[in-house]
Amino acid sequence: MQTRIPKENTHQTPMKALLIVDMQNDFVPGGALAVKDGDEIVPLINRLQKSFDFVVATQDWHPDDHGSFAVNHEGKKIGDFITLAGTPQILWPAHCIQDSEGAAFHPFLNKSNWKAIFQKGTNPEVDSYSGFYDNNRKGDTGLSAYLKEAGVQKLYVCGLALDYCVKFTVLDGISEGFQVFLIADATKAVNLQPDDGYNALREMESAGAVILKSEELI
């Protein structure tokens, strides 16, 4: 009897995507909301991109009257907490204002193979850390539908900042049903509190993310 050997079906291979979060001028040293050593991961992210056929990016993209900016709340300063659209909101320096140099991607970041860019934080009434949904989970950037349409199942996340936009993107990615991998050496934390980056890693891991190192991919 003949044994039927199934033909290899490329569609059965889980599609993997690299998601680069907020690698923008305002989040690197010299920028308005600089993450310490944030620029150091640019060459690594460029190397990582070579291991992926499918690369997408998010871009923090605020109007100048955005409610997360301390300057837009009289008597408030950076780091204060307010309630914005019913949710607690920490106040940031004005950053990533639409069409400004600060909102532009880092000049050394290779953007030539990106499939799409998902902008977030455009609604002045609510902040948006995750690349999928705003902090009230109302506004949808379309990222989830886009990835699903493309057949992506495995999502590899890197970029800035580990304890804010990277963390919330990873958590939403998991709840959207993706298998999510966090590339630990291709991200940096704001660390308003010294352990924020470490705690973010633990939180993502508890939620089901796999924490790995870039050397496992390159």
Query: Annotated active-site positions, please?
Result: 22, 120, 165
Which lies closer to ligand VGL via its Cβ, residue 17 or residue 165? Answer: 165
On the CB side of 115, how many CA atoms lie within 13 Å of its CA?
15
Q: Examine residue 181 and tell whether it contacts ligand VGL (CB under 6 A).
A: no
Is omega for the bond preceding 161 within 30 degrees of 0, making it cis? yes
164 binds, among ligand VGL, Zn ion, none (CB under 5 to 8 A by kind): ligand VGL
- The residue type found at 142 is G
- Single out the segment in contact with Zn ion by CB under 5 A; choices: 38-46, 56-64, 147-155, 156-164: 56-64
Q: Examine residue 60 and tell whether it contacts Zn ion (CB under 5 A).
A: yes
- Single out the segment in contact with ligand VGL by CB under 6 A; choices: 81-89, 103-111, 142-150, 159-167: 159-167
Q: Are the CB atoms for 133 and 127 separated by under 8 Å?
A: no
- The residue type found at 194 is P
Q: Examine residue 172 and tell whether it contacts ligand VGL (CB under 6 A).
A: no
CB of 105 to ligand VGL, least distance (A): 12
- Give strand pairing partners of 90: 81
CB of 149 to ligand VGL, least distance (A): 25
- Give strand pairing partners of 133: 140
Q: Are the CB atoms for 183 and 48 separated by under 8 Å?
A: yes
Q: Examine residue 165 and tell whether it contacts ligand VGL (CB under 6 A).
A: yes
- 81 to 110, contacts with ligand VGL by CB under 6 A? 92
Residues 104, 10: Cα–Cα separation, whole Å: 36
Q: What is the CA radius of gyration of the chain?
A: 18
- Give strand pairing partners of 155: 17, 180
The residues binding Zn ion (CB under 5 A) are 60, 121
The residues binding ligand VGL (CB under 6 A) are 22, 27, 33, 60, 92, 129, 160-161, 164-165
